[in-house]
Amino acid sequence: MAEDEELAELQRRRLLELQRRAAEEQRKAELELQKQALLRRILTPEARQRLSNLRMVRPDLVQQLEMQLIQVAQTGRVPLPITDEQLKQILAHLQSTRREIRIRRV
C-alpha cells in the first residue's frame, strides 16, 4: 500500500511540475507576442527587417536593443516610428560605446 501511495504522490508531483512548465512557456509566448506587437508600432518595416537580419548574427544584442527601443518609445524620448536610418544610427552608437578587447601574446 505504501508503494502505491508513493507512486501516486510522485505522479501528482510530476503532473504539477509539467503544468507549471506549460504555464510558464505560455506566459513567455504571450510576452513575446506583446513585444512583437509593440515593435511593429515602434519600427518601420525596413527597421524591423534590419533587426531580423541582425538577430541571426547577434541575438543577444537584438534582444537588449528591442527592450531599449520599447523603453525609449514608451517614455516618448524618440519620434515614432523609428526608421531604418535612425536604427542604423542607434546601432552605430551602441557599437562605438562597446569596449574592444585586445589580447597580445608575447
Q: Give me the pLDDT at residue 104, please.
A: 87
**Confidence label for 17 from pLDDT (cuts 50, 70 and 90):** very high
Q: Give me the pLDDT at residue 102, please.
A: 80
Domain ranges of the chain: 2-97
Q: Give me the pLDDT at residue 98, please.
A: 64
pLDDT at 31 over 80: yes
Distance CA 1, CA 78 (A): 68
Residue type present at position 74: Q
Whether residue 81 has a cis bond before it, omega within 30° of 0: yes
Fold of 2-97: Helicase, Ruva Protein; domain 3 (1.10.8)
Q: Give me the pLDDT at residue 50, please.
A: 96
pLDDT at 1 over 90: no
96 or 9: which leads in pLDDT: 9
DSSP 78: S
pLDDT at 95 over 90: no
- Against a cut of 0.75, is the pTM above it? no
